[in-house]
Structure 1
Amino acid sequence: MCNRDCCQARSPIAKRMAARRLLQMEEEERKKPKMVIPTPQSLFYPFDVVEAMAKYITDVGRIRPKYGLICGNFLGEMISLVEQPVIIPYEDIPNFPDGIEPDCSFVVGAFMGAPIVATVNRFHFCEGYNLATCSLPVRVMQLCGVKTIMLAAEAGAVSQKFGLGDIVLVHDHLNMVGMMHQTSLEGPNDPRFGSRRFSMVNAYDNDMLEMALEIGKRMGIQQFLHKGVFACLGGPVHETLAEERMLRAMEVDAVGMGLVPEVIAAHHGGLKVLAFVVISQVANDIENVEKDKDTDTDVRNEKPEEESPEISPLRIQACSDLIGHMLYYMHHEL
């Protein structure tokens, strides 16, 4: 190590060369890749930050919502039925992330007399959002005062008994993303959100599930209203034939890219959960799968994506009516 006596004994040229070498060493050190320490998911949105988001929504909306609704794009028109709605864009909420879709916002108001906070747009893991962001709307609704939440989404069918537009009430799920060590609960736990360890066995409220089935029967839609198991996949690509067979063997009925992170956050916060999916893509028909003569592999006989049929407006209306009836019956305790 160089010291003062050593430098005094050197010539000016030696000193300049030593200084140059020192600068070169510092430059090489700066060029070396630095170790990246990822931020735990639970630290992205601490309790105080989420609380400020919720306070902004309740202050602007001037209502303390009791029910939360995340309904997906296919039910976007249902938001127009909210009475005296207050629309709060994402960009107005402090520290709330921007959405990919245009006009992303929370809607606060009354639906069938029930005070609700609702949002149409979702954050998806495959779009580059972390799972803490995907479950953030649920956290915000929890701190707004929501005690019951209803979640709806589109899904692809795995069970071959489901047709296009069928409604599947989720009574259990398979968290495939969580099995790959992706969870919004990673990191230190804040007990103000919920406990550190909890069971997901009773995540879906059975009373609400039975109520939905009974209301569906009264509405006359029982022929396309089912119970099923939902699996959360990474997306955005659809599963292969082999993956579909595996999921079917695991008793999965429908798959999608979201829903489960929101259910976990809701159950973690002690909310009652009702979740259902609407089938927007039917399962592959085994009769329409042929073997390639040269490679002996499965070949899918399907239409291009752009020719996929759309969900009937009557089925979408049935979803809106089901949610409306559920809110009315729960709020008035009928």
Structure 2
Amino acid sequence: MSAPTSTDRTHRDDGTASGDRPLSIGELAEAAGVSVKTVRFYSDSGLLPESGRSAGGHRRYGRPALERLLTVRRLRALGVALPAIAELLREETGLDGVLARQRAELARQLTELRWREASLSALTEVGGDPALLPLLGEALRSTPATDTFVEFWRRILPLRLPRRLTTSIIDASVPDLPADPTPAQAVAYARLHALTADRAVAAGIRNATAGFEIDFVQFYEGLGEAYALTTRHLLAGTPPGPGDALDCFVGVYARAKHRADTPAFRRTLAHRPALAADHEMAAYWSHSAELRPAGDPDMGAAEVWLTAALAAAQEREHPAGSAR
């Protein structure tokens, strides 16, 4: 038989010497290896119910209070918050649930620390760029999250889109954040956070399509199909060029503008002037791509491929310097 531990001896010695005699606050503190102040705090918090008071008004505790106090001390050593411990002691939740929540909170804290470390490394690498410090400081005031990105898309998408389509577009457009970011990803997140938090940017993008008399449901569903076709080319490493993806892409714009897909329309589409909204969205996709894993193309990558494919097709049909 193994030798009894100090706690075992405390239980046995107290029990044999004094039977079920209530413990004073000092005895309870000594038995549990904590201070009297700690016992008083837990008692006042309702975690250690008293069994009564002495004639002099001093607190007394029953034997179960020792095991309860040891449980509280051990959970606190693991970082479990007092409200969660109180729920456990009141049997409102089980130990597995408390530990699962603590693991989730610890994972959140570790992720936040990794983002801070990446941000500090980014600042070090650029030599303390004064423009980068406020950018990172603002974005990382709280744990990095995609809420701002989601709200940005809700502001720029047409209000009359059905919820299923809006949700689908947002899911495809908002990148998951890495748990262990690089310094470059910390900067990309900060820039994307600043862009999407600017309501004026979102308003400008939405206003760019405000006057369009088109079926937006058909338009976005068509673009989704074109992007899906393009993703296969991106994953295969196919260079931009003619084919099903480009035909689908041009067809979407032709229907939106009530035009036929003709060579003249393709020339117009290829040489359409870039709007401020186009530059803002290009910036969005550039920062978003930095946050995505390598080899995970998004709609921005598909748009770039399709635009390049259209330009390449026009160049083949009308080489530079040739008469048109």
- What's the TM-score bracket when you normalise by the shorter of the two chains? under 0.3
Query: Which is bigger in relative contact order (C-alpha 8 A, separation at least 6)?
Result: 1
Whose helix fraction is larger, Structure 1's or Structure 2's? 2
The TM-score, its normalising length taken from structure 2, stands at 0.22
Whose strand fraction is larger, Structure 1's or Structure 2's? 1
The TM-score, its normalising length taken from structure 1, stands at 0.22
Q: Which has the larger radius of gyration?
A: 2
